Structure 1
Amino acid sequence: MAVTLADVAARAGVSSATVSRVLSGNYPVADATRNRVLRAVDELEYVVNGPASALAAASSDLLGILVNDIADPFFGIIASAVQGELEGRAYGGPVPQKLAVVCNTGGSPERELTYLTLLQRQRAAAVVLTGGAVEDPEHSAALATRLRRLAAGGTRIVLCGRPPLEDAATAREARRGTSKRTASSAPVRSQGAAGAVLTVAFDNRGGAHALTTHLLTLGHRHIGYVAGPAERTTTRHRLEGHRAALEAHGGLDADRAERLTVHGGGYDRSSGYEGTRELLRRAPETTAVLAANDTVALGVCAALREMGLRVPQDVSVAGFDDLPFSADASPALTTVRLPLHEAGARAGQLALGTLPPPQDGMAAMGHELVVRASTAPPRAGG
Structure 2
Amino acid sequence: MDAHPHVTLSDVARAAEVSLATASRALNGTTRVRSDLRERVLAAARELAYTPNAHAQALAGGTHHTVGVVCHDVSDPYFASIARGVMRVAGDKDLLVMLASTFRDPQKEIAYVSMLRAQRASAILLVGSGFEDRGWSRALSEELEPYRRGGGRVAVVSRHRNLRADSVQPDNKGGAAKLARTLLDLGHRRFTVLAGPRRLTTVVDRIAGFRQALAEAGVELSENDIVESTFTRDGGYTAMRQALDRGLDSTCVFAVTDVMAIGALTALRDAGVSVPDDVSLAGFDDIPVVRDLTPSLTTVALPLEQLGERAMELALRSDRGTRSRVVRVQADVVVRDSTKEVRA
TM-score (norm 1): 0.74
Contact 1:47–1:149, Cα closer than 8 Å, also in 2: no
| Aligned-partner Cα distance in 2 for 1:120–1:357 | 21
SS at 2:110's partner residue? helix
CA contact (8 A) 1:230 1:236 kept: yes
Corresponding residue number in structure 2 for 1:232? 200
Instruction: Call closer, same or farther: CA 1:29–1:325 in 2, change over 3 Å.
Output: same
The yes-or-no answer on 1:158 pairing with 2:155 is yes
Deviation at 1:275, TM superposition (A): 0.7
- Distance in 2 of aligned mates of 1:228 and 1:248: 24
Residues 84 and 220 from structure 1, CA distance in 2 versus in 1: closer, same or farther, beyond 3 angstroms? same
Q: How many residues align?
A: 308
Structure 1 residue ranges without an equivalent (≥5): 1-27, 89-94, 169-186, 190-196
2:28 to 46, 49, 65: 46
What secondary structure does 1:262 align onto? Answer: strand
Runs of 4+ in 1 over 6 A off after TM superposition: 354-359
What is the deviation of 1:80?
1.4
Tell me the CA shift for residue 198 of structure 1.
0.4
Aligned residue for 2:272? 308
| Cα shift at 1:108 | 1.6
Distance 2:334 2:322 in 1: 29
- Report if aligned partners of 2:189, 2:219 keep a CA contact under 8 Å in 1: no
Partner of 2:226: 261
Q: Residues 30 and 375 from structure 1, CA distance in 2 versus in 1: closer, same or farther, beyond 3 angstroms?
A: closer
- Conserved 8 A contact 1:260-1:283: no
Q: Rg: which structure is higher?
A: 1
Share of identical aligned residues, percent? 35
Q: Answer yes or no: is the 8 Å Cα contact 1:350–1:357 preserved in 2.
A: no
Aligned to 1:291: 255
Q: Does 1:353 align with 2:317?
A: yes
Letter in 2 for 1:157: V
Q: Tell me the CA shift for residue 281 of structure 1.
A: 3.5
Counterpart CA distance in 2 for 1:209 and 1:35 is: 43
Match of 2:105 in 1: 108
1:124 and 2:89 matched: no
Unaligned 5+ segments in structure 2 are: 17-22, 31-53
TM alignment of 1:1-382, pairs within 5 A:
29=2, 31=4, 39=12, 42=24, 44-46=26-28, 55=57, 57-58=59-60, 60-88=64-92, 95=93, 97-160=94-157, 162-163=158-159, 165=160, 168=161, 187-189=162-164, 197-250=165-218, 252=220, 257-265=222-230, 267-353=231-317, 361-378=325-342
Q: Which moved more, 1:274-283 or 1:297-306?
A: 274-283
Question: CA-to-partner distance for each residue in 1:310-343, whole Å, 9 max, x for gaps?
Answer: 1101100001100111110000000010011111
Aligned equivalents of 1:54, 1:268: Cα separation in 2:
38
CA distance in 1, matches of 2:266, 2:259: 11
- Residue 285 of structure 1: SS of its match in structure 2? coil
TM-score (norm 2): 0.82
Distance 1:66 1:30 in 2: 24
Deviation at 1:205? 0.5
CA contact (8 A) 2:55 2:120 kept: no
Cα deviation, 1:39-97, whole Å, max 9, x if unaligned, reads 4984623269xxx9964752532210111111111111111111111243xxxxxx3x3
1:47/1:152 contact within 8 Å kept: no
- 1:357 Cα deviation after fit: 8.0
Kindly state the Cα deviation for residue 213 of structure 1 after the two structures are TM-superposed: 1.0
Name the SS of the counterpart of 2:222 in structure 1: helix
